[in-house]
C-alpha cells in the first residue's frame, strides 16, 4: 500500500510500500545533496555511521540494529522519529525512539523533524531527501526502486491495481457452427438419386470452469447443435432424416497464460440424448390395364422411423481466451465431440456420430 503525507509547514513526503525482500540490515540513502557532501547518521544520542555523497548526490549508509553500537538497545526492530539537520557543508540524519531527543543542533544548521513514526526492521530501506529547502522520507521494506535514488526523478504516480489471469469459478457461453460428420452420409445411402445433406448446423455451448490455479481447471458444459436435416429422393420415393442431439460434457482443462491471454486445451467424457428420425414417403404405383385405364397397384404412403438413443463417449477441445478486465473476457475454441448411443427403448440399432464445432463467446468470472 502506498500513501503520501504532506505536512503543510514542513513540505515533507512519506511513501510507504510493503513488499517482501531478503535483507540483513537497514540501508539509509540520503539524496538531493551536493556531490562530495559528508553525511552523518545517528540513532538516539549516538553516531552510528557516515558516508560521502557520490557524483549523483547520493550517500549510502548501512545501519545494523543488532550491532551493539546501533541504538544500544539490542532490538531488531524499533519505531523512530526522523530528524534532518541541513548545514552548509554537511548533513546529519537522526533516528530517535520515543523518549529520546537528538543532540543540540550545531551552529549554522537548520533542523526539521519529519512527520510521522517510522518502523525500522531488518529489511527496512529508507530514502531521506535532504535538499536545502525541502526534506522528505521514503520508506520501504526491502530494496528501493532505482527511481527513488535519482535526485531529478519526480514522484511516481499511483497506478491502478494490477490483476493476474482470473481463477476460481468462471461461466461461459457462446455460439458458432457444428458439422455432423457421418449421419448425412448414412442417411443418403447408395441408391439415392438426389440427396441434399444438411451436415452444418448452428451450435451453442454454455458451461462453467473451476480454475484451481492459472493452469488447471475442471469444466462442465452443455453443447447443443441444432437439428441436422438431410433430404433425398429416388425412383418412386422421397425421405427426410433429422438428428437432434443434446450433449453434456465433463472434463479437465489445462491452460498456458501469457499476460491477459490464456491458451487452453481440454478433454473428457460426453453423455448424449438424441432423437434420430426418418420420414419416408412412397409414391402410388399405377398400371394401365387392357382397356387403357389406370389401375392403382400400390397406394403408396408415408412411414416414420424414430430411434431415441443415449450413451457415453469422449471429446477434445482447444482454444484461446482474452481477458479484457478481471471480471470478463472473450474466447474462441474448436472441438470434436463423439455421439455414441443405444436405443433407450431397447432393440437393435444405435448411433455413432461425430460433431466438429467452432464456437466463440464470452466468459464471466463469478468469484
d(CA 76, CA 68): 11
**Which of 266, 264, 265, 262 minimizes the C-alpha distance to 252?**
266
Q: Please, what are the domains in the chain?
A: 4-149 (no CATH), 168-287+295-365 (2.40.160.20)
Average pLDDT over residues 280-287: 80
Average pLDDT over residues 264-291: 87
Residue 204: the pLDDT is 97
User: Residue 166 above 60 pLDDT?
Assistant: yes
DSSP codes of every residue in 245-312: EEEEEEEEEEEEEETTEEEEEEEEEEEEEEEEEEEEEE--EEEE-TTS-EEEEE--EEEEEEEEEEEE
What percent of the chain is predicted at pLDDT more than 70? 84
Q: Whole-prediction pTM value?
A: 0.54
- Burial of 127 per CB tally in 10 Å (0-12, 13-18, 19+): buried
Tell me how crowded residue 75 is: count the other CB atoms within 10 A of its CB.
Answer: 14
d(CA 192, CA 237): 9
Residue 343: the pLDDT is 92
Highest mean pLDDT among 34-48, 220-234, 262-276: 262-276
Residue 9: the pLDDT is 33
User: Residue 356 above 70 pLDDT?
Assistant: yes
Residue 139: the pLDDT is 85
Confidence of residue 99 (pLDDT cuts 50, 70, 90): confident
User: Residue 295 above 80 pLDDT?
Assistant: no
User: Residue 227 above 80 pLDDT?
Assistant: yes
User: Residue 156 above 70 pLDDT?
Assistant: no
d(CA 221, CA 209): 9
Helix-strand-coil split of the chain, %, nearest 5: 5, 60, 40
> SS3 for 98?
coil
Question: Mean of the per-residue pLDDT values for the chain?
Answer: 82
CA dihedral 189, 195, 199, 200 (to 10 degrees): 180
User: Residue 115 above 90 pLDDT?
Assistant: no
Tell me how crowded residue 324 is: count the other CB atoms within 10 A of its CB.
Answer: 11
Amino acid at each position: 500500500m502506498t500513501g503520501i503525507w504532506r505536512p503543510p509547514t514542513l513540505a515533507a513526503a512519506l511513501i510507504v510500500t510493503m513488499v517482501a525482500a531478503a535483507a540483513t540490515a537497514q540501508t539509509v540513502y540520503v539524496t538531493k545533496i551536493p556531490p562530495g557532501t559528508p553525511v552523518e547518521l545517528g540513532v538516539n544520542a549516538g553516531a552510528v555511521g557516515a558516508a560521502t555523497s557520490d557524483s549523483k548526490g547520493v550517500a549510502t549508509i548501512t545501519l545494523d540494529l543488532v550491532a551493539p553500537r546501533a541504538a544500544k538497545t539490542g532490538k531488531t526492530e524499533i519505531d523512530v522519529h526522523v530528524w534532518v539537520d541541513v548545514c552548509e557543508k554537511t548533513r546529519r540524519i537522526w533516528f530517535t525512539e520515543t523518549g529520546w531527543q537528538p543532540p543540540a543542533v550545531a551552529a549554522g544548521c537548520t533542523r526539521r523533524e519529519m512527520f510521522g513514526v517510522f518502523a525500522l526492521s531488518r529489511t527496512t530501506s529508507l530514502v531521506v531527501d535532504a535538499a536545502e529547502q525541502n526534506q522528505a522520507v521514503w520508506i520501504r521494506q526491502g530494496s528501493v526502486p532505482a527511481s527513488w535514488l535519482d535526485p531529478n526523478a519526480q514522484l511516481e504516480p499511483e497506478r491502478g491495481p494490477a490483476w493476474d489471469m482470473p481463477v476460481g469459478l468462471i461461466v461461459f457461453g457462446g455460439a458458432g457452427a457444428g458439422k455432423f460428420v457421418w449421419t448425412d452420409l448414412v442417411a443418403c445411402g447408395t441408391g439415392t438419386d438426389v440427396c441434399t445433406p444438411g451436415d452444418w448446423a448452428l451450435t451453442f455451448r454454455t458451461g462453467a470452469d473451476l480454475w484451481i490455479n492459472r493452469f488447471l481447471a475442471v469444466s462442465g458444459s452443455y453443447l447443443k447443435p441444432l437439428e441436422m436435416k438431410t433430404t433425398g429422393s429416388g425412383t418412386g420415393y422421397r425421405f427426410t432424416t433429422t438428428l437432434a442431439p443434446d450433449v453434456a460434457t465433463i472434463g479437465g482443462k489445462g491452460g498456458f497464460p501469457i499476460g491477459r491471454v490464456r491458451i487452453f486445451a481440454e478433454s473428457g467424457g460426453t453423455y448424449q440424448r438424441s432423437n434420430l428420425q426418418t420420414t419416408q414417403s412412397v409414391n402410388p404405383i399405377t398400371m394401365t390395364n387392357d382397356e387403357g385405364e389406370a389401375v392403382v397397384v400400390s397406394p403408396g404412403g408415408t412411414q416414420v422411423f424414430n430411434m431415441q438413443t443415449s450413451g457415453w463417449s469422449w471429446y477434445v477441445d482447444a482454444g484461446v481466451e482474452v481477458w479484457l478486465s478481471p471480471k470478463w473476457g472473450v474466447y474462441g475454441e474448436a472441438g470434436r465431440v463423439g455421439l455414441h448411443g443405444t436405443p433407450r427403448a431397447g432393440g437393435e440399432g444405435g448411433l455413432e456420430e461425430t460433431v466438429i464445432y467452432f464456437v466463440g463467446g464470452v466468459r464471466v468470472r463469478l468469484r
